[in-house]
Every structure is written in structure tokens, then in C-alpha cells.
Amino acid sequence: MSGSERLALLGGSPVINAPFADYKSMGEAEEAAVKRVVQSGCLSGFFGSPGPEFGGGPEVQAFEREWSERFGIKHTVSVNSATSGLYAACGAIGLSPGDEVIVPPWTMSATVAAPIFYGGIPVFADIEDETFCIDPGQVEKQVTDKTKAIICVNLFGHPAKLHELRALADRHGIYLIEDNAQSPLGSEDGKPTGTIGHIGIYSLNFHKHIHTGEGGMCVTDNDDLATRLKLIRNHGENCTDMLDGGPITNMVGMNLRMTEMSASVGRVQLSNADAHVEARERIAQRLTDGLQGLDGLSPPVTRDGCRHNFYVWMMKVDEAALGVSRALFSDALAAEGFPHATGYVAPLYRLPLFQKRIAIGRDAWPFTLTERTYDDIACPVTEDMHENRALLFEPCAYDLSDEDIDRMIKAVKKVHAGRDQLNARKSTGT
């Protein structure tokens, strides 16, 4: 939208008249770490065969040790992305063709695509209205004798109902995988997100709170799952002796390995994780506090006992109470310079992958293994949230002062106060 259009919406200058500064995530310590690795000449310490180099070089191994210590978990297996981690997790639990995996429809696509590589059938369960995470009550309804796992997502930085989901998984003898890509320092009842499921996956891609450009971490307290994750990461077909005679299912490995440079950057990022995450939590808290009590707008809430990391700050719009459409409100907010989006991703069961039931190969495997179709899925909370209610801002993208945040609050209040004017302009077409 151009500057002149902006002025036409509510008049006056935009409250925020210059773009916010990008968040600076890399500093001198990261630069020194990369230099140290380059000077060492060892950019990767992995070999894809049995022996001391099966687990990677010194930076990778130190990073994994430090990650385990930080999160109080027995094993950490680094990978080159959270997508790789989700794939490895599906393989490690022994996911087999035709097994069902219960997933939320409102997440990044990798959450629901990962099971497909092993022939898993994603089964969608709706989200909760308050936190946008998968609803345990809806999960329970989807459990069948084919269910092998639940993949929950700690969406936008807020924990799903993790202890409840773990109890549900244990009751049914299935696995809980936490997609913790967006919530590195979240917690529920004092326990870190990522460590409550059987396996937790973190993303270190460059949008995230802490990052290595691309990267991911898998954590587990289970020795066997840890070994299987490592085998899938690194040409496991050569090393199945490590399983001591256990089943070799899914042990055809890939190269999902992290480089020494990435690990060296990750170690620095991890040591400063508190500061990085707290910076985003501070922005979100000030924004939330400043926007209480406005009819039709509900800033995000944090469930009791939880820590929310605010990868995304998501406000809910109630068009009836607001008296103006979300689209018009959003246009006016954009004209005031407030960077945001409406909705998140369209419910994932709408993807051609599911609507056409075509995944891998000419025969559209693995959908040939199920009667399930995806055209009559009922996830009304997700639909309503995406189509009508969600309005999001990304605290991880910007470096904001208190004054910047106060201008964001002022922009919302200006648009909120100008709702009648917006409607009047809309009806006269001006």
C-alpha cells in the first residue's frame, strides 16, 4: 500500500512512519566461533560408518552436550533442520506404512508432511481457541487401532497441553512427538517444552529465537530412540550393529548432519538464549498490556503454569464486537505502519497433497493404504481462526524499543477509535 493510500484511510500521518529495525541476531562471538572452526580446517567431523566419527566433530558433540545440560535431557541429536528432525523422529519410532499420526492442521507444513515419507497417514485434530495448539479432547476422538503417534506443536511459542497429551499417549501405548520449533524456552509446570514428549524437535532456522541459519535439534530420554535418531541422521544402513540385535526397521539412513560451523554458532546462541528469548517476551508483554480492554480485540493469553516465548504474537478479532471487518481493520492498521498479517497458514488439509491424496510415486502412496479422505474434515476452530479472527505480529523479526512498541499500541488504538469512520468510508466507497 502506498503512502498516499495510507493517508486516505483514517487521515493524518501514519503513527509508525518508518520500518522497524531488523533484529540483529549475530554478534562478534558468533563471528569468532566460525573463524575458529574455519581455522581448524575441520568443517565436519562426521563419517557415515561405525567408529569414533559416527557422532560428528568436536563442535557438534559439544553443542549436543550443552543442549542436553541446558534442557535436563539425556540425549540430544543435532540435525540440519527441524524438518529433518521430524522425519528422523517418525523413522525412529518405527512408523510403518498405513500407521496413523494425529496432527494439528494449523502449523508449518513439515509437521504433517514428515510422517508421509514412512508411509504414515496424517489425521487432523482441531486446535484450542485459547492457545491455538492441538486440543487433547479432539486428539482422543481420532485415536484408532492404527494410531502410532501424535505430533503436537507448541505453536507460536505457547506449550500445547503437553502433560495431558503425554498421559493420553501413554494410556494408548502410542508416541508423543513435540514439534517445538517455535518455543525453545517454553515450559509447562516447570518442565521445558520439547522434553515432555518421547521426542522433542527444535528448529534453528534463521527466523527462530536462536538460530544457526539452518539447523535443528532432537531430544529424548530414551536410549534406543536416541540411537535410531543418530542412525537415520547418518547413513544408518552401515551401522545397524549399534542396535544390539534390535529391529532394524527404518534404519536406511540419510545425511541430515549439522556442520561444525553451524554447531559453533549454535553454542554461542544457546549461551545467550535467555537474552534472545526474553527480548521477544518483553515486546509481546508490553504490546499485550497496552491493548487490554478494546472491544472486539483479544490479545494473546498464557495458560496458567506455562511460559510462552512469543515466536508469534497472535491477537484474536471478533468482527461482531469490533463493528468492522478484520480485513478493513487490517488495511487501516497497515496504513498506520503496523507490520502484521491476517490468518496464519490455511488449514493444511486443504493442500493438494491431501485433497488429491497424491504424495509419493505414480500410485499416490501412502494414501493407497487408507480409506481416509480429507474433503470433509471438521476443524471449525482452525477454520474460524484462520478465515476470520487471527491477526499476527512477529516479535522475532524486529529490534524494538519501548517507544516503538508504544507507537504500535497507539496505531491499534487509533484504528480502533476510527472504526465508524472506516465503515462510513466503506459505505460511500471513499
Ligand X SMILES: Cc1ncc(COP(=O)(O)O)c(C=O)c1O
Among 203, 227, 234, 269, binds ligand X (CB under 6 A): 203
- Under the binding rule (CB under 6 A), the answer on residue 111 touching ligand X is yes
CB of 310 to ligand X, least distance (A): 14
- Under the binding rule (CB under 6 A), the answer on residue 330 touching ligand X is no
Distance between CA atoms of residues 97 and 106, nearest Å? 24
Among 40, 96, 142, 205, binds ligand X (CB under 6 A): 205
Residue 426, CA distances (Å) to 11, 328, 332, 380 in order: 14, 9, 12, 29
Among 110, 256, 284, 306, binds ligand X (CB under 6 A): 110
CB of 110 to ligand X, least distance (A): 4
CB of 368 to ligand X, least distance (A): 27
For residue 391, the Cα-to-chain-centroid distance in whole angstroms is 17
Name the nearest CA neighbour of 177 among 90, 79, 81. Answer: 90
Phi first, then psi: give them for residue 251, nearest 5 degrees.
-95, 20
Which residue's CB is nearer to ligand X, number 134 or number 408? 134
User: Partners of 218 in the beta sheet?
Assistant: 77, 201
Contact 177, 88 (CB under 8 A): no
CB of 124 to ligand X, least distance (A): 15
- Under the binding rule (CB under 6 A), the answer on residue 216 touching ligand X is yes
Distance between CA atoms of residues 46 and 36, nearest Å? 18
Name the nearest CA neighbour of 303 among 125, 103, 129, 108. Answer: 129
Among 25, 44, 68, 83, binds ligand X (CB under 6 A): 83
Q: Is the preceding peptide bond at 19 cis, omega within 30 degrees of 0?
A: no
CB of 217 to ligand X, least distance (A): 10
Which residue's CB is nearer to ligand X, number 108 or number 270? 108
Q: Are strands 147-153 and 100-103 parallel, antiparallel or unpaired?
A: parallel
- Under the binding rule (CB under 6 A), the answer on residue 153 touching ligand X is yes
CB of 318 to ligand X, least distance (A): 26
- Under the binding rule (CB under 6 A), the answer on residue 309 touching ligand X is no
- What is the helix (H) or strand (E) element at residue 346, kind and residue range? none
- Under the binding rule (CB under 6 A), the answer on residue 68 touching ligand X is no
Quick one: which segment of 52-60, 79-87, 119-127, 250-258 binds ligand X (CB under 6 A)? 79-87
Contact 157, 183 (CB under 8 A): yes
**Cell numbers standing for residue 24:** 540483529
Mask for 173-192, x = binds ligand X (CB under 6 A):
------x-xx----------
CB of 81 to ligand X, least distance (A): 3
Distance between CA atoms of residues 313 and 281, nearest Å? 9
Query: Which positions touch ligand X (CB under 6 A)?
Result: 81-83, 107-108, 110-111, 153, 179, 181-182, 203, 205, 216
